[in-house]
Chain A
Amino acid sequence: MTSSQTSVSLSIDGNQVQVPEGTTIHKACESAEINTPTLCWAENLTPVNVCRVCVVEVEGNRTLVPSCARPAEEGMVVHTDSERVRHSRRMVLEFLGSGVDLDQATPLHEWIVRYDADITRYDQPELPAAVIDEPIKIQDDLYIRDYNRCVLCYKCVEACGDDAQHTFAIAVAGRGFDARISTEYDVELPESACVYCGNCIGVCPTGAIQFKTEFDLRLAGDWRPDQQEITRTVCSYCGVGCNLEIHTQDGRIVKATSPADHSVTSGHLCVKGRFGWTYVQPST
């Protein structure tokens, strides 16, 4: 940002906040130290504003607006904790919790408490609330897809497509409650355009797509993130200089990530950086 950039001034929960023009309401909230939950937004992806967890009330607007995508405007009066906002956030979390397995979607656990969401009230006598009920897709040694955990945030589609990899192996298929992330005709990943960069894993917030290593350890009841070490290094395969974060548990590598704010990777890697570390340790 340059000094010539115009700024806009808005009110958020009664506080005057000044931000550069073009800043989203979500960012403006952040600068005012107001924590606004969001599920489908990420630093390294284009906002799709589909999860609606980040909605806020902007005076003069008939409906709530997605703070992640709406730019702040001069004179805007924003409420992030009004009854309307709390209600919609609570309902979105209830809806998600009623239909999706959120066990591994850690950030949501705190929000569900914060907004007093009752995810159990959708089951009715002899009529349980419909959930996504699909077998876990294990089609190779690198990753698994468990769409029972998918909140359809579009992040994996974006990372596979225009926002990072430009491979377009997956897209949203179907419609409404039956919409799913899918390859063409749901062909197995090895038959699809997938290049196994794993950038979909990197952005997935719920564990719907995850490393096979992590999946196996979880299955064995042996996934202990609090005992894992993260070592930052530079990928040794080529000269680009991608930063890697190597996650180890009990002295063994369990997965590789890259920081979303890294200037070279923006959090994205290729198949070698993401998965090419098995040679450093004997197979089990």
Chain B
Amino acid sequence: MTDLHFTDDRADSTEIEAVAAAIGNETVVVVDTERLIRGGTERRHQSRHLLLPALHALQRAKGWITPGGLNHVADVLQVPPAEAYGVATFYEMFRTVDPGHSESVTHVCVDAACQIAGSDTLGDELAAKGTAVHRSPCLGQCERAPARFVQGVGTPDEVPADSEPLVFHQQGDPSLRLLKRIGVVDPGSLDSYRSNGGYVALDRAIEMGAAAVLDAVADSGLSGRGGAAFPTGVKWRAVAAEEGCPKHVVANCDESEPGTFKDRVVMENDPFSIIESLTIAGFATSAENGWIYIRGEYPLAAARLEAAIDQARNAGLLGPDAAGSGHTFDIEIRRGAGAYICGEETALFASIEGFRGEPRSKPPFPTTHGLFGQPTAINNPETLLNVLDIVALGADEYRSRGTEKSPGTKLLCLSGRVANPGLYEVEFGTSLGQVLELAGGLTGSSELRAVLLGGAAGSFVGPESLGLPLTLEDTRNLGTTLGSGVVMAFTTDVDMTPVLIRIAEFFRNESCGQCVPCRIGTQRQHETLVQVGRIGSITADRRQLVDDMARAMADASICGLGHTASSAVSSALALGLIGGTT
């Protein structure tokens, strides 16, 4: 007898079957007379990590999450319906209002790279043809702007551009490290991966032993490639030192930073490399549970990773005594559902756990209190990829590329007004100008106006920075960041005002809403920019207001989203890209 309360709405058989197919038929055991206040609290956390997959199933079945469907899932998982509703309304890909049709919905990206490639017009054209259109934040396909993603109803999600052949401009370049297999290896074949150097690193890691792997990662100077550049060796050692409870390693494949698509290209074209490197992470930190949290708008990447995990498991590379290491390790995939904030590590944990993707206050840090409150090493896929070379080549050889403080190579996502947008791997220290040349230079006859470095959470730099060596230290000294590797070029023919208004709107829409500085600050920042757009300049008091808001958001927000929500806007004002020169 449950003491949860439900409205009278009931799921239909389509929904019940869809949920069962997604999460199995096991319901949470409810003990008679047990009340939520005692065992119930534990009970409602027991299977809650299945909430997100169950909501995906409901959304797919009907094109929206019906009250009856939500009640069913809440009952099966023993999650209070109000909380399940709170989770469902958190994500861009879930609808909780009847759309009135059961057609697939075409998401059209409206963020910078797609915006200047005419996504607005594309959206209008599709809508005029009767397609259900949803204007969406960055879909992670900036190299093929304007981007689309089709969310199916009763059918799988798909990305129209996925049926086109891979475009990779550096294919076959012998200097590649991280991208050497892209376009070369068959992403669907473990044998192909092995014959292209796959699983050499894991064998080597097992031979070396966990302690030596930790040493190599620390000695290599590898730092996190998701944006924060935290030393990976420090993180892994901290998790390895935790004992006596389950531990996790997580690949944070939720890249949603506008302008970023590097993880997608790797996952789609070299999925085994993520699995191998995550296995090494598990081995080195003695964590048995691997997780891949992948953004919901990447159906091809999810399918290829899923298939690769199956093959690896069948070959004994995952599971008990994974790859003969004597260590148990397996990987589970979770799909996000459209929320930029879930790329923040603690928000990602909350999302997997079946709660709203709200970041937690740090400390405590994930290395002690991560997923399910247990020690967790969470890394960006690009960071993990580097580990393969560090282990296989050794830290010294690894450091032979790049600079002293930024060893190795970096993946860069080139987009905007460049001739050959796409993913590139360059040595740290390559200048911004060289990188733009690598992508074929600018398009059209216009001059360079600005480059957005590091994504919407990064900042704009002007043409005077073309000589800037792209390293962690040089970008930091200039007050900018490499962030997630975004290099988005804007030429003088681009009207920057709508771009900046959209960046402000992006943060306003993606704020989780938890803390006041970010929830209201991003709203007010957006309003202020809309006003600047209307009158074509910025008054002194509005300028003061923007600065005041920026300081408070950077200083008093809970997480990185709020801390960086004003950085692109502030840099654009400083460069005179909007509001007149200052």
Contacts and interface: CB of A to CB of B under 8 A. Distances in A.
20 contacts: A50-B558, A52-B516, A52-B557, A55-B556, A70-B361, A88-B552, A88-B556, A91-B517, A91-B551, A92-B516, A92-B517, A124-B527, A152-B513, A152-B519, A173-B85, A175-B510, A176-B510, A177-B520, A193-B5, A193-B80
Given A55-B556, A129-B527, A172-B356, A88 B517 contact: yes
Contacts of B226: none
Contacts of A66: 361
A176 B519 contact: yes
Interface of B: 4-5, 7, 35-37, 40-41, 67, 70, 74, 80-86, 89-90, 96, 339, 356, 361, 363, 508-517, 519-524, 527-528, 530-531, 534, 541-542, 545, 548-549, 551-552, 554-558, 563
Interface of B is mostly: helix
Contact of A99 (B339, B356, B520, B530): B520
Contacts of A95: 516-517, 519-521, 524, 552
A127 B527 CA distance: 8
Contacts, number: 177
A8 interface: no
Interface string A75-98: 000000000100110011001101
Contact of B82 (A52, A171, A176, A179): A171
Interface in A135-162: 151-152, 161-162
A104 B541 CA distance: 30
Contacts of B556: 52, 55, 63-64, 88, 91-92
B527 A192 contact: no
A168 B517 contact: no
Residue of A92, A169, A173, A183 with most chain B CB atoms under a 10 A cut-off: A173
Contacts of A193: 4-5, 80-82
A176 B523 contact: yes
A222 interface: no
A90 to B, nearest CB: 8
Nearest to B357: A175
A179 B531 contact: no
A237 interface: no
Of the listed residues B89, B548, B557, the one surrounded by the most CB atoms of chain A closer than 10 A to its CB is B89
Contacts of A151: 516
Interface in A163-199: 166-179, 182-185, 187, 191-193
A50 B83 contact: no
Given A50-B558, A64-B556, A183 B524 contact: no
Contacts of B70: 184-185
Contact of A172 (B361, B513, B552): B513
Nearest to A128: B527
Which 8 pairs show the lowest CB-CB distances between chains A and B? A179-B513, A168-B80, A91-B552, A193-B5, A171-B86, A95-B520, A88-B556, A176-B511
A10 to B, nearest CB: 16
Given A52-B515, A170-B82, A127 B35 contact: no
A49 B558 contact: yes
A99 B40 CA distance: 37
Contact of B541 (A91, A121, A182): A121
Contact of B512 (A64, A96, A175): A175
A149 to B, nearest CB: 15
B521 A173 contact: no
A55 B514 CA distance: 15
A96 B520 CA distance: 7
A122 interface: yes
Contacts of B520: 95-96, 98-99, 177
B361 A87 contact: no
Given A52-B515, A176-B510, A176-B513, A185 B41 contact: no
B260 to A, nearest CB: 21
Contact of A91 (B363, B511, B521, B563): B521
A166 B40 contact: yes
Which interface residue of B81, B82, B356, B554 has the most chain A CB atoms within 10 A?
A: B82
A139 to B, nearest CB: 14
B70 to A, nearest CB: 7
A118 B72 CA distance: 48
Contacts of B524: 95, 98, 122, 129
A50 B82 contact: no
Contacts of A182: 82, 85-86, 89
Contacts of B4: 168, 193
Q: Which of A84, A96, A174, A179 neighbours the largest number of chain B CB atoms within 10 Å of its CB?
A: A179
A43 B308 CA distance: 51
B82 A169 contact: yes
B523 A99 contact: yes
Interface string A115-135: 000000110110101100000
A51 interface: yes
A69 interface: yes
B516 A69 contact: no
Nearest to B521: A95
Given A127-B527, A184-B85, 8 more contacts: A51-B515, A51-B516, A64-B555, A87-B555, A88-B552, A166-B41, A176-B512, A193-B80
Nearest to B8: A191
Contacts of B339: 175
Nearest to B89: A173
A88 B510 CA distance: 22
